[in-house]
């Protein structure tokens, strides 16, 4: 395979709703470029993109697939992405490294959930978009209705480049408004270029005039040429279209019927003639602010945007070269860890197909295997910029959490290792062992996301698992002062145990008033790992407790704060004053005072107006306006406090604060309420006191649990 120059490369993300036909379109692009000699189908389970076992079983994509083909002395890299929002991480990473996107829209269904969701991600990355209206061969297809929806939803910058002449089961012809010709396809997909028929002449000329004007608006010189000549040449139109596309001032609409192989050549011609090369889009920045312009003469720099684990290959690291070139044998340095990596085997990969290459230049995609310690989102550099880090992909926060447990405890360690490997491949699937909750917590983007992970663990790795509702990380604290005295005394022959502690506790705040009834001889301030503080004050006078036992008392208190007296949750924000006690000349020791301190703290805590705090999350729901009332009603039923609403395009963004305890399976509920058209994100905000009825229920549940364990 030849080495392509930067200006001969196109990097394109195929995005859109599930069942819009992205995978079938990918097959047609690969076939038209000659990478494959026979097109597979999703129904037959033999496509290049969907080759993983779960995708064959479900007949839709759950992971993005990096593909490439060669076409008219250009290399087209493209990424076939999943359509479901549960796999949004795959879409985000594709948009991060591609220079433009083709939004595939099903002409039978018009704008769908995936269309809307993926569009919002293109706004975030400011990526150029082309609309490819697919499935024009179906009897229920409607190009005009789909176009109307696109303009209504995304604005008048949606611009027709092509339209079908006879859509439906007899679809075979497309009017090209740039060339002002009709392209007619045989059943085998062979194109014949014809003059536009008289019946379409007026419509084509009207749309052509609008297209010329749209192209001219993107450049002053083109506007002058337009005013002077009342039109533009084909070359001038392409230049204007490219400028408009790059600036997101123009979103072309094209026609394809991927399954019967019609319109594919026109789409690919447009990709290489008008969509931007990697060095024609705004530069990528490093964390330090250096700009990378995809210049082959710059120092070599490669960004790892995807990791997969493939049979017979192992771990594959996909990267985009942002500067210089990467060749086999290149020594590179991980900008994050400083570890050295040697590129021993270099490939370009299309699904299961791979081809060895000597080098990959700036702007191109490549893949390396058996790198020692590289993860997605890391940067590899040559020595000149060894510690540079390209701005990482910002993956969405988890939306759903479940506790996961192996049915057999002997598989627990293996399960943890598997989940760690799965996170390498999918950074939006995260697992951690919660010491606080005593559960292995799995977090993801939705129930489907977690269920696919469960399928993988049980089917591929052969470990049966259960999903369990996760516990809530409550916190415990107090609202008033309280005193307690506890004597620990134990005699069992020989040396005994004795320690007595007198303690006062009060809520810790920045402006708290300290008690004045006893002097404070020393203060220790401890930041708790789970948030909040413990202020430990030594107020002992006259040697009632020897100073050597104070650390033991502190340790006992810390242990009890780690397992709060109310529900076993972490305690926080408490000031403790040890003001008196007693010792025994023989029986007093550290364990005695640790237990005395622990139990004195427990007793004082229960008399200090104890309260339970719950985690509150900031939740943002993006919802169609007509569904806003239903969503707000549902949120209020979850004890949400609505903080505000604002418009976001044709959608409304609802901002609310919601207790985490009320967010279990919210993704399923929201999807049901809005027919899948809403999406949401959540982020931890603060801890707030639970309502009295909730606290009563939590205390009762904890008491029942303790009695069962006893």
pLDDT in tens, 183-219: 999 887 789 999 999 999 999 999 999 998 888 888 8
159/78 Cα distance (integer angstroms): 23
Strand partners, 537: 523, 577
- pLDDT tops 70 at residue 124: yes
Dihedral pair phi/psi, residue 312, rounded to 5°: 70, -5
Asked if the model's pLDDT at residue 676 lies above 60, the reply is yes
Q: What is the mean pLDDT of residues 435-459?
A: 93
Six-digit token pair at 482? Answer: 């309280």
Query: How many CB atoms are located within 10 Å of the residue 34 CB?
Result: 10
Residue 710 has pLDDT above 60, yes or no: no
Alpha-carbon gap, residue 93 to 393, rounded angstroms:
6
CA distances in angstroms from 591 to 429, 497, 588, listed in the order given: 44, 8, 8
Q: How far is residue 325 CA from its own chain's centroid?
A: 29
pLDDT value of position 308:
92
- Relative to beta strand 533-538, strand 574-582 is parallel
| Alpha-carbon span 23 to 50, nearest angstrom | 7
Structure-block tokens of residue 344: 């021993």
DSSP code at position 210 = H
Q: How much is the pLDDT for 708?
A: 67
What span, in angstroms and rounded, lies between the C-alpha atoms of 680 and 276?
Answer: 32
pLDDT for the residue 55 = 84
The span from the CA of 311 to the CA of 493, in Å, is 66
Kindly provide the residue ranges of all beta strands, DSSP E only, lying in 427-532, ordered along the sequence.
430-434, 439-444, 465-468, 475-477, 482-490, 497-507, 522-527
Average pLDDT over residues 351-370: 92
User: Is the confidence at residue 59, as pLDDT, over 70?
Assistant: yes
pLDDT in tens, 596-640: 999 999 999 999 999 999 999 999 998 888 899 999 999 999 999
CB 600 within 8 A of CB 486: yes
Reported as a single tens digit per residue, the pLDDT across 32-52 is 999 999 999 888 888 888 888
DSSP state of 469: P
What is the reported pTM? 0.87
pLDDT in the model for residue 445:
93
Whether the Cβ atoms of residue 25 and residue 325 lie closer than 8 Å to each other: no
Q: Which residues 6+ apart lie within 8 Å of 446 measured at CB?
A: 84, 85, 86, 399, 400, 667, 668, 671
Instruction: Map out the domains of the chain with their CATH numbers.
Output: 6-197+244-280 (3.40.50.300), 285-385 (2.40.30.10), 403-469 (3.30.70.870), 476-609 (3.30.230.10), 613-694 (3.30.70.240)
**Which pLDDT tens digit goes with each residue over 390-438?**
999 999 999 999 999 999 999 999 999 999 999 999 999 999 999 889 8
* Assigned token pair, 556: 């006992």
Angle between the N-to-C axes of helices 143-154 and 113-125, in degrees from 0 to 180, rounded to the nearest 10: 40
Mean pLDDT score, 538-561: 95
Q: What is the pLDDT of residue 419?
A: 95
Average pLDDT, the chain: 92
Among residues of the chain, what percentage have pLDDT more than 90? 76
Q: What pLDDT, on the 0 to 100 scale, is given for residue 493? A: 67
The pLDDT value given to residue 150: 95
8 A C-beta contact, residue 613 and residue 669: no
Instruction: Using a pLDDT cut of 70, give the percent of the chain over it.
Output: 99
- For residue 709, pLDDT over 70 is answered with no
Measured distance CA(330)–CA(344) in Å, rounded: 8
CB atoms closer than 10 angstroms to residue 210: 14
645-650, long-range: CB < 8 A, 24+ apart: 648/120, 648/622, 649/120, 649/153, 650/152, 650/153, 650/624, 650/625
């Amino acid at each position: 395979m030849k080495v392509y120059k930067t200006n001969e490369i196109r990097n394109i993300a195929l995005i859109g709703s599930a069942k819009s036909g992205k995978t079938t379109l990918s097959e047609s692009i690969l076939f038209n470029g000659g990478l494959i000699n026979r097109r597979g189908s999703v129904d037959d389970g033999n496509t290049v993109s969907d080759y993983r076992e779960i995708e064959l079983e479900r007949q839709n994509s759950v992971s993005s697939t990096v593909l490439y083909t060669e076409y008219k002395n250009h290399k087209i890299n493209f990424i076939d992405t999943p359509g479901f929002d549960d796999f949004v991480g795959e879409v985000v990473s594709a948009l991060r490294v591609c220079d433009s996107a083709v939004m595939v829209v099903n002409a039978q269904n018009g704008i769908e959930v995936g269309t809307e969701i993926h569009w919002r991600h293109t706004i975030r990355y400011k990526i150029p978009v082309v609309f490819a209206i697919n499935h024009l061969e179906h009897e229920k297809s409607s190009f005009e209705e789909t176009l109307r929806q696109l303009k209504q939803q995304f604005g008048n910058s949606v611009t027709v480049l092509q339209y079908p002449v006879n859509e439906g089961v007899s679809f075979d012809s497309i009017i090209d408004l740039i060339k002002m010709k009709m392209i007619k396809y045989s059943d085998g997909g062979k194109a014949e270029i014809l003059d536009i028929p008289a019946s379409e002449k007026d419509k084509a000329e009207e749309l052509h005039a609008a297209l010329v004007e749209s192209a001219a608006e993107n450049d002053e010189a083109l506007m002058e040429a337009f005013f002077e000549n009342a039109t533009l040449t084909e070359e001038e139109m392409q230049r204007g279209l490219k400028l408009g596309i790059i600036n997101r001032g123009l979103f072309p609409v094209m026609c394809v019927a991927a399954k019967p192989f019609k319109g594919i050549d026109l789409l690919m011609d447009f990709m290489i003639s008008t969509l931007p090369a990697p060095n024609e889009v705004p530069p990528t920045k490093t964390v330090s602010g250096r700009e990378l312009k995809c210049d082959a003469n710059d120092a070599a720099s490669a960004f790892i945007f995807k990791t997969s684990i493939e049979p017979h290959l192992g771990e594959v690291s996909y990267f985009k070269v942002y500067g210089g070139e990467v060749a086999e044998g290149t020594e590179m340095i991980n900008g994050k860890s400083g570890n050295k990596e040697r590129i021993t085997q270099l490939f370009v990969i299309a699904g299961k197909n791979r081809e060895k290459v000597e080098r990959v230049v700036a702007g191109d995609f490549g893949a390396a295997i058996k790198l020692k310690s590289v993860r997605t989102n890391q940067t590899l550099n040559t020595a000149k910029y060894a510690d540079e880090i390209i701005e990482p992909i910002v993956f969405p926060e988890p939306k759903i959490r479940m506790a996961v447990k192996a049915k057999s405890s002997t598989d627990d360690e293996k399960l943890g290792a598997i989940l760690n490997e799965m996170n390498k491949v999918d950074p939006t699937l995260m697992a951690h062992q919660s010491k606080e909750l005593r559960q292995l917590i799995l977090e993801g983007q939705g129930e489907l996301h977690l269920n696919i992970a469960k399928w993988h663990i049980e089917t591929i790795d052969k470990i049966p698992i259960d999903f369990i509702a996760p516990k809530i990380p409550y916190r415990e604290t107090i609202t008033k002062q309280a005193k307690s005295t506890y004597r620990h005394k134990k005699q069992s022959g020989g040396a005994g145990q004795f320690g007595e502690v007198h303690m006062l506790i009060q809520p810790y705040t920045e402006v708290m008033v300290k008690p004045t009834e006893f002097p404070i001889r020393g203060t220790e301030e401890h930041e708790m790992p789970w948030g909040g503080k413990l202020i430990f004050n030594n107020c002992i006078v006259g040697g009632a407790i020897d100073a050597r036992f104070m650390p033991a008392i502190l340790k006992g208190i810390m242990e009890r704060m780690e397992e709060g007296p109310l529900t076993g949750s972490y305690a926080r924000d408490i000031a403790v004053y040890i003001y008196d006690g007693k010792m025994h000349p023989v029986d007093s020791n550290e364990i005695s005072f640790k237990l005395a301190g622990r139990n004195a703290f427990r007793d004082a805590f229960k008399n200090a107006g104890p309260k339970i705090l719950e985690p509150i999350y900031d939740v943002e729901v993006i919802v169609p306006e007509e569904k806003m009332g239903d969503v707000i009603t549902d949120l209020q039923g979850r004890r949400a406090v609505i903080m505000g609403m604002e418009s976001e395009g044709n959608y409304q963004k609802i901002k609310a604060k919601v207790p985490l305890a009320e967010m279990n399976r919210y993704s399923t509920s929201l999807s049901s309420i809005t027919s899948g058209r809403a999406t949401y994100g959540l982020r931890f905000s603060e801890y707030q006191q639970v309502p009295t009825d909730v606290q009563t229920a939590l205390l009762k549940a904890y008491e029942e649990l303790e009695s069962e364990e006893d």
